[in-house]
Structures are given as C-alpha cells and as structure tokens.
Chain A
C-alpha cells in the first residue's frame, strides 16, 4: 500500500478506536449511572462525576499516553534504536527526585497554579535532560551512545539519592513518594489538562513536523545530510521537543513507564517503520492504550484504584511479550 493511503487508513482506524475506548471509559466506573439520563435529570452528583472527574481524566490519560508514546517514537528515531524512551534518558529519575524533594520539604503551596510536586519534578527532569545532553556532547555533536549511557547512569544515581532520602524519612513520606512514582491519572477538573497541553502541544507539533527528516536520518548522518537534512539542528529539535512534552506529562502523572516503549513497537510490527506513519499513529494508539489501562486500573477492583503504572506494565508487557513471540518478522533490529 502507498504510504499516504496507509497513513490515512491507520489514522482513521485509530481515531475510531480512541473514540470507542473513551466512550466506554465514560460509561464504566464505580459510580454506575447512565450519564445521559443522569445529566438530563439535573443530577448534581452525576454532573460532578462526569465533568469534573471522568472526562478530564480521560483527556489526561489520552494526552499522557499519546505524548509518552510520541516522545518514545521520536527518541527511537533520534537514537536509531528501538529501545530508547524518555525513561532511558534519565527523565523519570529526575522527575521522581524532584517530586520526592517537594514532598520532603513539605511544600504545600503551588507555583503559578501548578502543585509544588509538579513544578519540582518538571524542573528536575528538564535539568536532568540538559545535564545528560551537555555531557553527551563530543566536539559539539551529540554522541548517541554516550547520551544513552549517561541517561541510564544518571537514573541509577538518582535512585540512589531517592533511596537514601527515603531511608531517613518518617513513615508517611516514603509512602507518598512511592505512590507518586507508581504513576496516577487522578486529576480533578480541566485545569491540569489545559496546563499540560500548554507544554505538550508545541513539543508534539515539532515532532510531527519532522517525520520525513527522521526517515532520512535513519540512513546515517552523512547520507541524511546529503539528502538535505540539517542533522545537527534536527537532533537538537527532537531532543528538546520530546523532553519538554514528556517532562510536562510526567510531572503531572508521575512516571508511567512502558507506553513510550511498546506503543511504537506494536505499530512498527503492524505498519512497518516509516516514521511518517509511526509518529502520528503513536500518539493516537498511546492515547487509546493509556485510557483503556486507566479504565481498568480504576474499575478492576473497584472502589479501590490500582496505580495505572502497574496496569500498563502488567497488561502492556504481557501483550508485548506475546507479540514478540508470535512475530517472526525481523522488525526489531
């Protein structure tokens, strides 16, 4: 199939999938009343649940899942390596340490309407990204091998600090931190959604505008350059766009792992590796995936809510392993 037809077909199927999953997610929950009837009857509780809790939460799940998957696909193109994700670059470690510090210091007041935990984790992950980036530079050029290694090592270093601080704190704080690290989409109202979008939209648009160059880039720096790509500029743009978007999401939801890794993989197994198709589709499938996982996490043993990070790892990981074993095609280099 021609790339364009393939893109249109997969995009429309994925939009449909997202709509179906979101609708299902609105209807399913601990509070089980037909929303249309409830809202028409002027039930205040129903209104609150649907408009303050469920719909914002579905949007947040979609934004978070979509962004993490898109960022993963972008970083994989950047590293020419299907194992790259925001987490391999130290973003999660930085975010977690930032959150822990905010909890530890006991900052109650937010800044500019963001909670202190979010602000700290955002700042820390951005700082980590700059740090990792600057030590990965050799002769003004980012050495991708160095970058991956630096990211992994920084993550370990952060987790040492996190464990150290945890060890010396009273009982409630480690629990609170642990809970944050597990990841959650528990938000109230649309406020957080808009604020996250403020950072996510520019990041995602930059990535979506570079899909053709990402393809050429996979032919190596020299060939990409000979085909008209400004390689240096492109590397920087991908790096900062993914960092900005992913940090913004993680600072709100906590590190929800795995989405950025498996969603692009699953798509490549089905659709091939053309980034013009994989990048936009990653957003939609990531959005659907996290929305579905979040719905499971809040209903599977309702009224108790399991942290969504556990569900994504369990379901996503299981599904991914199954796909890996089933697919004989050499899609993973």
Chain B
C-alpha cells in the first residue's frame, strides 16, 4: 500500500534534551494508526514533527515521497490537519467562525470565505454533529464540545491526513464512540489517513489498523492489535503489570494488580 507519510530516523530535542530518539515509522494511505505510550514518552512531540509544526534537523519526513520541509506551509495545511490535545481559542469566537478558519489555507490574504467555503464548514459541523452550536461562543461551550469544534475545524481543511493528539480526552462515552465511528467513516468514504495519539484506547483498540507503542522516545512495538497487545509489551510500555484478555473479538486490558487486590492495602 502507498505510504502517505513516512518518518526516517527522526530525532528531536528540547533544550538539548532528546525527546525523540531515532524513530522510523510510516502510515499507509487510508489507514488509522494509533500511537500509544505512557505520559511524557514523546507522543505529542512526534505528532508535531510529523505535521511539520516542529522542524527537526535530524531525520527526514516524507509526505507522499516528497520531503515535507520543501512543501510550502500553505500546501501542507491543505493536506495535513492537526487537532491539539486541549484546544484553545484565545478570544470568544463563535463556533462557526472557528470552523471557517479551517478554510484559511484556501483563501488569499485579504479574501473572505465564499459560499462554497461556508458550505464546507457547515458540512464539517454536520458531520461532527455540532450544527446546534454554530452561533455559540467558544467560551461558553464545554470541554468536549470544544474538542468537537476543533475536530470540525480540521475537517473543514479537507485534509488527506489527520493528526489527532488525544482526540477523545474530554469526551464522554457516547461522543467518544461517535468520534471513533466517524474516524472509520472518514477513512472509508474519503480515504482519509489518520494517526491518533491516545491514552484511553483500552476500550477502542480494535478501531485501529495498526498500533505504534512509544517508550522513551523510541518505538517499543509496532503492528496490528493482535501483534502488539500482549501482556509483555504493554507491561513494558507502561511500567506496570498489565493483563490482556480477548473475548468475542474484543480486547480487554487492565492492570494486573486489580482494584480488588489493591483495595485491602489501601484501607
């Protein structure tokens, strides 16, 4: 399968502290890849390097076989959309104003959105299911709704690749499931490729075509859910004993020290 994005030997440091230490990875077109790992292992940094938000001196990022750093920023933003972990809006824009900002890469410096842009922005809100929020101020909506708005803004960019940093952190069970279902739909209907960093995937791992597990800035394991999700690998990844069970095609992951065993010691 054709690769949409490929990272070769990526290194990245903040202030001389190396956070990403020689990562090689690639995402096949039209697949959903999950990026797992404990807090602070470099998931967010890696995603920012892949989108070109952070530029790295060591290593290459290839977007459809072209080096990302030679792709003009504007062109890049028509192809790759980024959704941050906790979206901020700076000023109290309305939700629909935020979604329309996703059209910015298609507009000239002094150009305003035309009817088609507005239509695309509205469709993005429809897809995500937030049309009822369109005239609300972003300062007045909940954390989960902000995340949905940020997601809709990314959709309005009409990207080929979506890079999501914990897209479901603030979402309740229903919205979380809906977003995951939406990701599958986007992949199927629009052939959008997706890479998502995620913590709370234990309930939803089967959504992903492939999983990459990151530990201390290096790839610990990579492959399909079945290949990667083993007691051994997850225990290493999270530095805590983890048990994986499979039942009816579902995967259950939980800490080996379950609450019941832990409870007496806490009492």
Chain A: residues with CB nearer than 8 A to chain B? 2-4, 7, 80, 82, 139, 209, 212, 215-220, 222-223, 225-230, 268, 272-274, 276, 329-331, 333
B70 to chain A, nearest CB (A): 15
Known: A2-B112, A215-B101, A219-B153. 9 other contacts (CB 8 A): A3-B97, A80-B91, A212-B110, A215-B97, A219-B88, A220-B88, A222-B48, A226-B52, A228-B73
User: Which residues on B sit within 8 Å (CB–CB) of A330?
Assistant: 92, 137, 139-140
B100 / chain A contacts, CB cutoff of 8 Å: 3
Does B74 make an interface contact (CB < 8 A)? Answer: yes
| Residues of chain B from 35 to 94 with CB closer than 8 A to chain A in the complex | 48, 51-53, 73-74, 76-77, 80-82, 84, 87-94
Q: Considering the chains assembled together, what is the distance between the CA atoms of A219 and B73 in angstroms?
A: 17
**How close is A226's CB to chain B, nearest CB, in angstroms?**
4
Cβ B93 vs Cβ A273 within 8 A: yes
In the bound assembly, the distance between CA atoms of A268 and B92 in angstroms comes to: 9
Q: Are the CB atoms of B91 and A226 closer together than 8 Å? A: no
Cα separation A332 to B4 with both chains bound (whole Å) = 42
Q: Are A272 and B82 in contact (CB under 8 A)?
A: no
> Is B113's beta carbon under 8 Å from chain A?
yes
Shortest Cβ distance from residue A224 to the other chain B in the assembled complex, whole angstroms? 9
* Bound CA span A272–B88, Å: 17
Are B104 and A274 touching (Cβ within 8 A)? no
**List of B residues within 8 angstroms of A209 by Cβ:** 109-110
**How many residues of B are counted as interface, with CB atoms below 8 angstroms from the partner's CB atoms?**
41
19 contacts between A and B (CB under 8 A): A3-B100, A80-B90, A139-B15, A209-B110, A215-B93, A216-B104, A217-B90, A218-B91, A219-B87, A219-B90, A223-B82, A223-B150, A225-B52, A227-B102, A228-B73, A230-B73, A273-B92, A273-B93, A330-B137
Which residue, of A220, A223, A330, has the highest number of chain B Cβ atoms within 10 A? A223
> Does B147 belong to the interface (CB within 8 Å)?
no
Residues of chain B within 8 A (CB-CB) of A276 are 112
- Chain B residue at smallest Cβ distance from A329: B137
Q: Is the CB of A226 within 8 A of B101?
A: no
Which residues from chain A contact B77 at a C-beta distance below 8 Å? 226-228
B94 adjacent to A272 (CB under 8 Å): yes
CB-based contact B91/A228 at 8 Å = no
Contact with A along B230-254 (1 / 0, CB 8 A): 0000000000000000000000000
Do B84 and A333 touch across chains, with their CB atoms under 8 A apart? no
For residue B193, CB closer than 8 A to chain A, the reply is no
Is the C-beta of B31 less than 8 angstroms from some C-beta in chain A?
A: no
How many A-B pairs fall under 8 Å by CB?
A: 96
Which residues 2-34 of B sit at the A interface, judged by CB distance below 8 A?
15
Decide if B92 touches A226 in the complex (CB within 8 Å): no
- B101's partner among A82, A225, A227, A268 (CB-CB below 8 A) is A227
What residues of chain B lie closer than 8 Å to A7, measured between beta carbons? 112
Instruction: Considering the complex, give the chain B residue whose CB is closest to the CB of A218.
Output: B90
B81–A220 CB distance below 8 A: no
B117-138: contact bitstring with A at CB < 8 Å (1 yes, 0 no)?
0100000000000000000010
Please indicate the chain B residues that have their CB under 8 angstroms from the CB of A230 in the complex: 73
Q: In the bound complex, do residue B93 and residue A218 qualify as a contact, i.e. CB atoms below 8 Å apart?
A: yes
Please determine whether A227 and B93 come into contact, CB atoms closer than 8 angstroms. no
Q: Give the chain B neighbours of A331 by CB distance below 8 A.
A: 92
- How far does the Cβ of B152 sit from chain A's closest Cβ, in whole Å? 13
Cα separation A311 to B73 with both chains bound (whole Å): 47
The answer to whether A3 touches B112, judged by C-beta atoms less than 8 angstroms apart, is yes
CB pair A226–B82 under 8 Å, yes or no, is yes
CA distance A274 to B93 in the complex (A): 7
- Which residues of A lie under 8 Å from residue B87 when comparing CB positions? 219-220, 223
Question: Known contacts A330-B137, A330-B140, A333-B139; is A225 also within 8 Å of B53 by CB?
Answer: yes
A219 touches B53 (CB 8 A): no
How long is the Cα–Cα vector from A74 to B163 in the complex, in angstroms? 30
The B140-169 residues at the A interface (CB cut-off 8 A) are: 140, 150, 153, 157, 163
- How near does chain B come to A229, taking the closest CB pair, in angstroms? 8
The 5 nearest A-B residue pairs measured at CB: A218-B90, A226-B82, A80-B90, A228-B77, A273-B91
* B74–A226 CB distance below 8 A: no
Asked whether A222 lies within 8 Å of B84 as measured between CB atoms, the reply is: yes
Task: Give the residues in chain A near B90, CB-CB below 8 Å.
Answer: 80, 217-220, 333
Q: Contact: B101 with A219, CB < 8 Å?
A: yes
User: Which residue of chain B has its CB nearest to the CB of A221?
Assistant: B53
| A272 B112 Cβ-Cβ under 8 A | no
Measured between alpha carbons, how far is A260 from B80 in the docked complex, in Å? Answer: 37
Which residues does chain B contribute within 8 Å of A273, judged by CB atoms? 91-93
B contact residues around A3 at 8 Å (CB): 97, 100, 112-113
The CA of A82 and the CA of B15, in the complex, are separated in Å by 31
Q: Considering only CB atoms, which chain A residue lies closest to B114 in the complex?
A: A4
Contact partners of B109 in chain A: CB under 8 A:
209, 212
Q: Complex formed: what's the CA distance from A222 to B47 in Å?
A: 11
Chain A proximity of B171: nearest CB distance (Å) = 19
Q: CA A215 – CA B110 in complex, angstroms?
A: 13
Does B84 lie within 8 Å of A223, measured CB to CB? yes
Shortest CB distance B19–A (Å)? 14
**Contact call B104/A227, Cβ cutoff below 8 A:** yes
- Complex-state Cα separation, A108 to B84, whole angstroms: 58
